[in-house]
Amino acid sequence: MATEFPVVLASGSPRRRELLGNLGVAFEVVVSGEAEDSAESDPARLAGELADLKARAVAAQRPDAVVVAADTVVAQGALLLAKPESTEENVAFLRELSGRTHQVYTGVSVISPAGRWSGVERTDVTFRPLTDAEMSYYAATGEGLDKAGGYGLQGVGMALVQRLDGDSSNVIGFPLALVIRLLRGAGVAVFGEMESRE
């Protein structure tokens, strides 16, 4: 049977709120406030670990709820690109990504009174070779400053991308196919469905 536990999104991201809302899931938002620090250097494991840290922090506050958390890590080879702290750093990130293929990993963790479900999605993203003017223009928009890797698909940043291999919603920070699978595992009705869990 579908769970009767409330659903809590452990993220302040407006993109994650919009994407979860599009699934027909009623939810509250509780931001974890968990520090996104880890000694882990493998990007896939790091994304999963940080998502789990966020989910556990909120689950401790809301043990009555199904808590869903996500964290996105962008990797160019061994280099991990977090959120740029300035337009200058944003340009430096874009220079690293220009004309190359990088990986975007998003870890998703779902914790409920009934258990825990988790996974990590990977998408390969290839940027066009970018001119200095393009990089400066994009960084000046400010669009990339709150995003891992320093760019977003849902705005001007789409023009930077030449090719995507994998789930595009993963690059936005909320891989929908994985999220749907994990939520259904936790008994959450998606798209208004009421499926039997016998």
Query: What is residue 197's DSSP assignment?
Result: -
**Residue with tokens 């798209």, as numbered in its chain:** 191
Active site residues: 71
Distances 98 to 42, 151, 162 between C-alpha atoms, Å:
22, 12, 10
Angle at which helix 132-141 crosses helix 87-97, to 10 degrees, equals 130
Are 157 and 138 in contact by the 8 Å Cβ rule? The answer is: yes
Are 75 and 47 in contact by the 8 Å Cβ rule? The answer is: no
